[in-house]
């Protein structure tokens, strides 16, 4: 199969498909972090019509529910471009939806696209697929079946970092907060290995 993984620089999903013999390529504005077939640039500038499966991870910074806080009037002076940035992110997401491909998966955290586009077809967690971590992940699917955990759940859902306020985050997510800017966003957007394997194992057996 020919598989394209859009907005991915980690190579995680791309290489899960390649490990199973498929012709997979990633595409991102950033270079690939590990050696492998990678197209550098805007994924919307490429023609994906010849691909059997397209898996996309649109940038989520301005789409997440947690980002709603920064849209409040009291933060307008601090983030004057936030509204325009959100509009651009929504436009990009919908442009991915409109790609002329038969089988499409769009991955994003819980966010405003459930209201502006439609509810996701599936909501998954890394611990459903063997990784001891929590990361609520929405999948919008076209021509693809929801992923099955196939007994891959693990006991426990990973460590959590508890703050003085009493709130807590998954440790991997809290650790990313120590990073700055693009590095933080890149780490938080990375697909967990178990999910990547499940995509390759379950969607990699499709035929035209």
Per-residue pLDDT tens for 6-31? 999 999 999 999 999 999 999 999 99
Q: Which fold has domain 2-203?
A: Rossmann fold (3.40.50)
Give the pLDDT of the chain (208 residues) as one tens digit per residue.
Answer: 999 999 999 999 999 999 999 999 999 999 999 999 999 999 999 999 999 999 999 998 888 876 656 566 665 666 667 788 889 999 999 999 999 999 999 999 999 999 999 999 999 999 899 888 888 999 999 999 999 997 767 766 666 656 566 665 566 555 656 555 565 555 566 799 999 999 999 999 765 4
As a whole number of angstroms, the distance between CA 66 and CA 176 comes to 15
As a whole number of angstroms, the distance between CA 7 and CA 90 comes to 15
Please check whether residue 202 is in contact with residue 147, taking contact to mean a CB–CB distance below 8 angstroms: yes
Name 23's bridge partners.
2
Domain ranges of the chain: 2-203
Q: Which value, in Å, is the radius of gyration of the alpha carbons in the chain? A: 17
């Amino acid at each position: 199969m020919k598989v394209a993984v859009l907005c991915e620089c980690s190579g995680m999903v791309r290489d899960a498909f390649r490990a199973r013999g498929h012709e997979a390529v990633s595409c991102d504005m950033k270079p690939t972090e590990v050696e492998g077939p990678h197209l550098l640039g805007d994924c919307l500038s490429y023609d994906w019509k010849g691909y059997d499966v397209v898996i996309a991870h649109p940038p989520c910074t301005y789409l997440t529910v947690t980002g709603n806080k920064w849209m409040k009037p009291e933060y307008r002076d601090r983030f004057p471009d936030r509204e325009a940035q959100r509009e651009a992110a929504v436009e990009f997401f919908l442009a991915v939806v409109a790609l002329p491909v038969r089988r499409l998966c769009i991955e994003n955290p819980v966010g405003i696209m459930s209201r502006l586009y439609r509810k996701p077809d599936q909501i998954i967690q890394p611990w459903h697929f063997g990784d001891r971590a929590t990361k609520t992940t929405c999948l919008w699917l076209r021509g693809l079946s929801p992923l099955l955990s196939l007994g891959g759940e693990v006991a426990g859902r990973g460590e959590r970092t508890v703050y003085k306020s009493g709130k807590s985050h998954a440790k991997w997510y809290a650790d990313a907060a120590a990073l700055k800017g693009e590095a933080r966003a890149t780490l938080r957007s990375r697909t967990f290995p178990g999910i990547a394997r499940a995509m390759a194992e379950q969607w990699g057996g499709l035929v035209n």
